[in-house]
Structure 1
């Protein structure tokens, strides 16, 4: 299992995660549900003490203007919950890993005409055996906020792209998220230095500043849908 360390700054679509704590590691910042509406995040305790892990849940809605609205799942709106997390609270021993399973709970009544997007919050705190242990009760480490996506049954590729100066402007017109590869290698052949990747949620827009090695007069932009043999490639010229 490949983990991303908490020390690394991660850029995920519209979120910027700047991490400076080393309490936990996570297997992925994006998990796409399988055909049963399930996915698993693996969390590792990198400290030398037991930690208590709490998992929060938010449902993300994208309006017609491409803006994101977050609905926090609380005990006051349990009837609105569309996912379950097990375990939602757990203790992880030093150096050990634990799988956290996320499941779509609204089947078969869910509307899968578009993607369902959820943001989880994995928040670790030191495990306190005694409430009188004041040295630990106020400690809290920075956690992760990954995305869990349940893909639509009607996934399609429909996006707009334009290229100006050093920036690629993207707009996903469909209701399903896209994985994009921007290739500026040209006739020199593929190389990681002249290729840039991006992920775009349904209905969202993105201004992607390209690395200098990618900035060519013509770019090959390839879009794919997760887990489906559907792709689209086009050449975009700088305006």
Structure 2
């Protein structure tokens, strides 16, 4: 399914790993909260059978640009929760879509707003049996883990962007997420192969393979914030 492949391709450009799934669809893989820290994600069942969806919340912290630490929310750390979901367990009928609300709990607990707050939201589907019981563990399909971000109110932008002949390396030293548009188009190149957009969260370093069509080209780089209030351009020379 083209839609699922597109979602998977986009998410492989991010900080985490997401398993491909044909069982259901999430409408976005990166959710930026509103000013109050709240958001919505929509799940759709594209299977011919009902699905039981089990959702989890994992708070993310990144060390040394590479190590991703996850703190799973549960009853034992309820007082530390910074967000909650309106539905952590739900049933989707064939073809049905449902909105899942994401609510900030920062009015109840201490939240450090000096940097983006980041969360992984694993949604794990399994077949739903007619007797009202979720499918067994053997039936569970791989799901999606969208990233939820509550942006800092005081963004500071700092990053390194370098290249080799085959890769572009982005180290986001900012306290917030950045979008990086890479344009290596010339008069003979197809726009589909010479333009790429990458998303790199705060404190993360990622390397991305450059298409063969732009391996030796100059690269025009545009860095923007999630809300487009910040924008900066730079040039990476080709023919290395």
Secondary structure in structure 2 of the residue aligned to 1:62: strand
Deviation for aligned residue 1:6: 6.8
Task: Please show how residues 181-220 of structure 1 align to structure 2 within 5 Å.
Answer: 181-186=181-186, 191-220=191-220
Q: Deviations over 1:75-109 (max 9, x none)?
A: 21111111010111111111110001111111374
Q: Once superposed, what is the RMSD of the aligned Cα atoms?
A: 2.4
Deviation for aligned residue 1:168: 1.2
Task: Please show how residues 69-84 of structure 1 align to structure 2 within 5 Å.
Answer: 69-84=69-84
Structure 2 gaps of 5+ residues are none
Task: Please show how residues 152-171 of structure 1 align to structure 2 within 5 Å.
Answer: 152-171=152-171
Secondary structure in structure 1 of the residue aligned to 2:56: strand
Specify which structure has the higher proportion of strand.
1
Q: Deviations over 1:1-48 (max 9, x none)?
A: xx93279743142334342x4221110111111112111111011122
Change (3 A) 1:24 1:65: closer
Structure-1 separation of matches of 2:6 and 2:229: 35
TM-score when normalising by structure 2: 0.88
Segment of structure 1 superposing worse, 46-55 or 177-186: 46-55
Task: Please show how residues 1-239 of structure 1 align to structure 2 within 5 Å.
Answer: 4-5=3-4, 9-10=8-9, 11-19=12-20, 21-107=21-107, 109-130=110-131, 136-137=135-136, 138-186=138-186, 191-238=191-238, 239=240
Secondary structure in structure 2 of the residue aligned to 1:84: strand
Deviation for aligned residue 1:126: 1.7
Secondary structure in structure 2 of the residue aligned to 1:213: helix
In the alignment of these two chains, the number of paired residues is 234
Structure-1 separation of matches of 2:118 and 2:151: 8
Structure-1 separation of matches of 2:125 and 2:163: 42
Segment of structure 1 superposing worse, 186-195 or 207-216: 186-195
Q: Deviations over 1:212-231 (max 9, x none)?
A: 12323421111000114211
Deviation for aligned residue 1:122: 0.6
Specify which structure has the higher proportion of helix.
2
Secondary structure in structure 2 of the residue aligned to 1:144: coil
Deviation for aligned residue 1:192: 2.9
TM-score when normalising by structure 1: 0.88
Deviation for aligned residue 1:120: 0.4
Structure-2 separation of matches of 1:13 and 1:218: 24
